[in-house]
Structure 1
Amino acid sequence: MTVTITKQSEAYLDALAKALEIPISRYEQAEKSYRSLGEWFHRDDSKVRHFDPDVFVQGSFRLGTVIKPQSAEEEYDVDCACNLNNLDKSELSQADLKELLGHEIKLYRKSKGISKQVHEGRRCWRLEYADGAQFHMDIVPCIPNGRDQRRLLEDRRLDTQFADTAVAITDNEVTPQYYQITNDWPRSNPRGYSEWFKFRMGDVFKRRRTQVLNEMRSGGNITASIEDIPTYRVRTPLQSAIMILKRHRDIMFTQDPTDKPISIIISTLSAHAYQGEETIGYALLSILSRMQDAIVYDGTKYVIKNPTDALENFADKWEAHPERADAFFDWLEKAREDFREVGRLVEHRRISGVLANRIGRDLTDQVSNSINASSSVGGGLLGAATAASTISIPKVSFSDEPRNPKKPDGFA
Structure 2
Amino acid sequence: MYATDPFINELDDLLAGICLKLQITPTQHKLAEDRYISVSKWLSDKSSHFYIANSDIYPQGSLRLGTTVKPLVNQEYDLDLVCEMGLDWNNFDPIQVLDAVESRLKENDSYSKILERKNRCLRLNYANEFHMDVLPAAPDTVRNHGCIKVPDRKAEEWKESNPKGYAEWFERQANQFGEVLAKAKVEPLPDPEDPRGKSTLKYIVQLLKRSRDVAFENDEEVAPISIVLTTLAGMYYRGILSINEAFAYTLHSLTNEISANDTRIVVRNPANQDEDLSERWDNNHKAYNEFVKWVNELSDTWKKLNIVRGPELVKMLQELFGEKVTNDVIKERAEIISRARKEDSLGITKSGLLTTSLASGITQVRPNNFYGD
Range class of TM-score, shorter chain: 0.7 to 0.9
Q: Report the equivalent of 2:164.
A: 191
Equivalent-residue separation in structure 2 for 1:248 and 1:25 (angstroms): 25
What are the residue-to-residue correspondences of 1:2-401 with 2, within 5 Å? 6-71=8-73, 73-85=74-86, 87-108=87-108, 110=109, 113=110, 116-129=113-126, 131-132=127-128, 134-145=129-140, 147-148=141-142, 150=143, 163-175=144-156, 177=157, 185-203=158-176, 230=190, 232-233=192-193, 235-292=198-255, 300-347=263-310, 349-379=311-341, 383-384=368-369
RMSD: 2.9
C-alpha distance in structure 1 between counterparts of 2:58 and 2:189, whole Å: 15
Q: Once structures 1 and 2 are overlaid, which stretch shifts more, 358-367 or 164-173?
A: 358-367
Distance 1:90 1:385 in 2: 61
Q: Deviations over 1:286-313 (max 9, x none)?
A: 2222124666977555322221222332
Cα separation, 1, equivalents of 2:164 and 2:259: 25
> In the alignment, residue 279 of structure 1 is paired with which amino acid?
S
Report the Cα distance in structure 2 between the residues aligned to 1:321 and 1:114, rounded to whole angstroms: 33
Residues 36-62 of structure 1: CA deviation (Å, up to 9, x unaligned): 222223334212324333221111111
Contact 1:295 1:304 in 2 (8 A): no
| TM-score normalised over the length of structure 1 | 0.74
Structure-1 separation of matches of 2:324 and 2:337:
20
Aligned sequence identity (%):
26
For residues 44 and 277 of structure 2, what CA distance do their matches in structure 1 show? 34
Deviations 1:357-399 (A, max 9, x none): 222111221122221221232227694359x9xxxxxxxxxxx
- 1:302–1:318: 8 Å Cα contact kept in structure 2? no
CA displacement 1:275-333 (0-9 Å, x = unmatched): 11123222212222212466697755532222122233223232332222221121111
The 1:115/1:314 distance shift into structure 2, 3 A limit, reads closer
Return the letter of the residue paired with 2:323. R
Q: Is the alpha carbon distance of 1:205 and 1:19 closer, same or farther for their aligned partners in structure 2, counting shifts above 3 Å?
A: farther
CA distance in 1, matches of 2:106, 2:208: 36
Q: Which amino acid aligns with 1:90?
A: N
Write the distance in 2 (CA, Å) between the matches of 1:239 and 1:284: 11
Q: How far apart are 1:140 and its partner, in Å?
A: 0.7
Write the distance in 2 (CA, Å) between the matches of 1:364 and 1:385.
15
> 1:194, 1:187 → 2: CA distance?
15
User: Shift in Å at residue 334 of structure 1?
Assistant: 1.7
2:291 maps to amino acid? F
| Count of residues in correspondence between the two structures | 336
Residues 203 and 276, structure 1, Cα contact 8 Å, conserved in 2:
yes
* Distance verdict in 2 for CA 1:204–1:240, change over 3 Å: farther
Call closer, same or farther: CA 1:32–1:64 in 2, change over 3 Å.
same
Task: Give 5+ residue unaligned stretches, structure 2.
Answer: 182-186, 347-353, 355-366
Q: Structure 1: which amino acid aligns with 2:369?
A: A
Q: Secondary structure at the match of 1:170?
A: strand
Distance 1:301-1:291 versus aligned 2 partners, 3 A rule? closer
Structure-2 separation of matches of 1:143 and 1:283:
37
- For 1:83 and 1:274, the matched residues in 2 are separated by 30
Name structure 1 gaps, 5 residues minimum: 151-162, 178-184, 210-226, 389-412
Superposition deviation, residue 94 in structure 1 = 1.0
For the 8 Å contact 1:171–1:186, the answer to whether it is kept is: yes
Q: Aligned AA for 1:25?
A: T
SS of residue matched to 1:303:
coil
Whole-angstrom CA distance in 2 between matches of 1:169 and 1:266: 21
1: CA distance between counterparts of 2:114 and 2:225?
A: 27
1:387-412 CA-partner distances (Å, limit 9, x unpaired): x9xxxxxxxxxxxxxxxxxxxxxxxx
CA distance in 2, matches of 1:83, 1:238: 28
In structure 2, relative to structure 1, the CA distance for the partners of 1:124 and 1:45 (3 Å cut) is: same
CA contact (8 A) 1:63 1:232 kept: no
- Which whole-Å CA distance do the structure 1 matches of 2:159 and 2:239 have between them? 33
Q: Secondary structure at the match of 1:52?
A: coil
Q: Distance in 2 between matches of 1:229 and 1:93?
A: 30
Q: Distance in 2 between matches of 1:232 and 1:283?
A: 23
Distance 1:362 1:254, change over 3 A: same
CA 1:296–1:38 in structure 2 vs 1: closer, same or farther (change >3 Å)? farther
**Structure 1 pair 296–360 and aligned structure 2 pair: CA distance change class (3 A):** closer
Contact kept? 1:80, 1:139, Cα under 8 Å: yes
